[in-house]
Amino acid sequence: MSVKANYNHIGIVFLGLISINGWSQQIILDKPLKAGILTLFPEVNNENTYYYLVDKIHLATDDQGKPQFSFLKYANNLGSSAGTAASTDLEGGGIFHALVTLSVSDEDLQNARRELERLKGGAKIEGPILYKSGKFGLVSSFKDADGGLTSKIVGIGNAPILDGQKAAISIQLTKLGAELLWETFKSPTPDISFTFEMDITGFRSPKRAIIEADFDQIYEHQSFGIGIASTFVAGEISATFDDLTRKGAIKVTQIGDDAKMDELITTAYNKLTEMMFSPLNGSGTPNLSNLSSMGSGQSLLDRASTMLAKNRQEARLVNKEADGRSTRPATPIGSAATGSNGSSSAGSSGSSSETGYQPGTVARQAGIKPPTANPVPDENQERAIVPQLAVLASYEFKKVRQRGIFRIDLNKYTVDNVMMRFDENIGDLSKYIDNSNYFREVNLDNPLYTQREIVATVDVGSIQDFAQYINFVNVRITKRHENGESTTDEVRIDRDNFNKEGNNFRMMYGWKGDSDRRKWREFEYEIDWSIMGGNTISEPLKKTMSNAIGLNPPYQMRYVEFQADPDVVIEKGIRAINIKVYYQVEGKEYIKQVDLNPARGLLSARIDYLSRFNELGYQYEVTWRLKGNQVITTPRKTATETILFVDELQ
């Protein structure tokens, strides 16, 4: 019995390389090659063509060599209610904004090309790998109850990274996160690191293995039994799948010994996650309310930090078992849920001089190893580098629950995701701590604070996402003052200024007889979207007291994955499969298509499409070419599934 679902995601692609399907590269994920300090992945159709991983992080600088970042810490006075003790506490938080680059130098690229020629004559490097999506985290430390330092995740956001270009990171921080971050910046060696978890999409090589999963048993697990509105950190999903694998609800059957079990488990977990869960808020990045409160129990940040501690403890146990058995160098281990490769943040902190900011040293991975699920040490076990961060993405249950048995044969090139992770210390920024251009503290109830700055950020992965389907967005704020006057401000965000401004757009209003400080914080805003096809979508007028406006596009990039069983294809004499996907944007129809090629073992593919936020559905049509030039085409069908099996002739 086949099962079906939907999955939301925002793909990150590079400008000028966008294909009709939004996925122009077809790399082999499990055949990495090290050339110089770069990691290369071969192309499916030509294994002499390679793409390189862009994993060198830098805090961006301006023309004068100054770091491009800002940190606003704000507070609001809390009044006490009748019959309670006077409050001395403040509510508040912070907004950290930075421009970051992820690039590879020309020198490193040339060295990699020479090394590749030496290792594999005739091979070439075509260009950078296109990231599908990414998450960005800030990690700092605080004193625990015993007086020791414990790593704490203080912020999570999208990581819209372009090779060699500046990209914006904006993170809203809780009160605790803002306080921790502010204090650590005062040190010349701040205990604060960037952590990036970047997803790439490609193919796994054919494996003689079968994945089976009983969804009825999976949903009955106690971790998943708290309702369809529950939110999960990716590491929690992985841990639950581990338990279900031990109990037999998830089975990975290896035929022969030509496949590595850890890679098979990674693929199984990825497929099940895609079918059962949707990324929180459409992108897997929580908003401030998700971060600070999850109803009863721990906040999402606390749970992510718990996963961090758990991963570190597991790695230490692996190392303890490995000590004395091998003197081989340490290598990363990661989570099977996303195929992560952990890395160390042991790079030295940066330094600054009068000539400008010098970023810290990147703690680079020594190489790429396949992800390890529940690693069990043996006499050849390498020592594991202790992971520095739990998986950052967060998910929620899909509205449509899966039923029955899911089965997939991996004896073909299979579409899959791998999460690549890298870290860097943020460097010495202490010389800027008293510079209000970088660090600002405000009490929103202070009468002297007579102007208010509102930040607007578009919630898309990159300028490429923006350019694919958004022409521009207009944001207007209106403040109605107590004296009867109104203040308005407006910004227009388009493809030209999106990256130039670092996806950080500011509006402002002032003080005009507003004696009620709390009411002064309230304003109205309107949003107008111009999207592909010349369509304009206006959102209704909204009120808010927040100093940040998240601009969520009315449409999202989604995908559908197509699978064909190699045995069925051979049995039925199928020589080629063509799939067309039809979708609508404001009543206008668009078409994308992909071909599966049995002769090359390419029986798995994806197509990206657009759909309304929180709305599902697309139409598809399948054409089979059989022996004897026979052609069979299905009538157009409607579906919402994430995975479609297209080997059953209609």
Q: Where are the alpha helices (DSSP H) in 384-477?
A: 463-469
Q: Do 447-553 and 556-645 agree at the fold level?
A: yes
Other CB atoms closer than 10 Å to residue 184's CB: what's the count?
A: 20
- In sequence order, the β-bridge partners of residue 33 are 40
Here the tokens at position 4 are 């079906």
Q: What tokens appear for 157 in the block?
A: 């956001």
What is 556-645's CATH topology? Immunoglobulin-like (2.60.40)
Output the pLDDT for position 563. Answer: 93
Task: Give residue limits of the domains in the chain.
Answer: 57-102+130-430, 447-553, 556-645
Mean pLDDT, consecutive 10-residue stretches, the chain (650 aa), reads 31 31 72 93 93 85 86 70 45 80 87 95 92 76 61 68 62 78 85 80 90 92 70 83 92 74 84 85 60 55 71 67 51 34 34 39 30 36 41 78 89 87 83 91 66 81 67 94 93 82 83 84 94 88 88 85 92 94 91 93 90 85 92 93 86
* pLDDT at site 552: 83
Q: Can you tell me which residue has the tokens 């009160």?
A: 175
Residue 522 confidence (pLDDT): 93
**How far apart (Å, rounded) are the C-alpha atoms in residues 149 and 174?**
19
Please give the radius of gyration of the chain, using alpha carbons only, rounded to the nearest integer.
Answer: 26
Measure the CA angle with vertex 29, ends 27 and 31; round to 5°.
100
Q: Which fold has domain 447-553?
A: Immunoglobulin-like (2.60.40)
- Which of 638, 470, 495, 620 has its CA nearest to residue 555? 470
> Is residue 276 left, alpha or beta, with left meaning phi > 0 and alpha meaning psi from -120 to 50?
alpha
Residue 190, class by beta-carbon neighbours within 10 Å (0-12 exposed, 13-18 middle, 19+ buried)? buried
- Residue 517, pLDDT score: 76
Give residue 201's identity as a one-letter amino acid code: T
Considering Cα of 237, then 239, then 240, then 241, what sign does the dihedral take? positive
Q: Where are the beta strands (DSSP E) in 319-376?
A: 331-332, 351-353, 356-358, 362-363
pLDDT of residue 475: 96
Residue 422 and residue 53: Cα distance in Å, rounded? Answer: 11
| pLDDT in the model for residue 502 | 67
* CA nearest neighbour of 123 among 135, 136, 134, 112: 112
Count CB-CB contacts under 10 A for residue 588: 11
pTM equals 0.70
Measured distance CA(137)–CA(150) in Å, rounded: 16
3-state secondary structure 203-218: EECCCCEEEEEEHHHH
Q: Contact 400/5 with Cβ under 8 angstroms?
A: yes
Q: Is 284 left (phi over 0), alpha (psi -120 to 50) or beta?
A: left
90, 156 Cβ separation under 8 angstroms: no
CA atoms within 13 A on the CB side of 206: 12
The reported pLDDT for the residue numbered 625 is: 94
Amino acid at 413: Y
Of 452, 513, 453, the C-alpha closest to 481 is: 513
**Max Cα separation, the chain?**
88
State how far the Cα of 379 lies from the Cα of 201, in Å rounded to an integer. 33
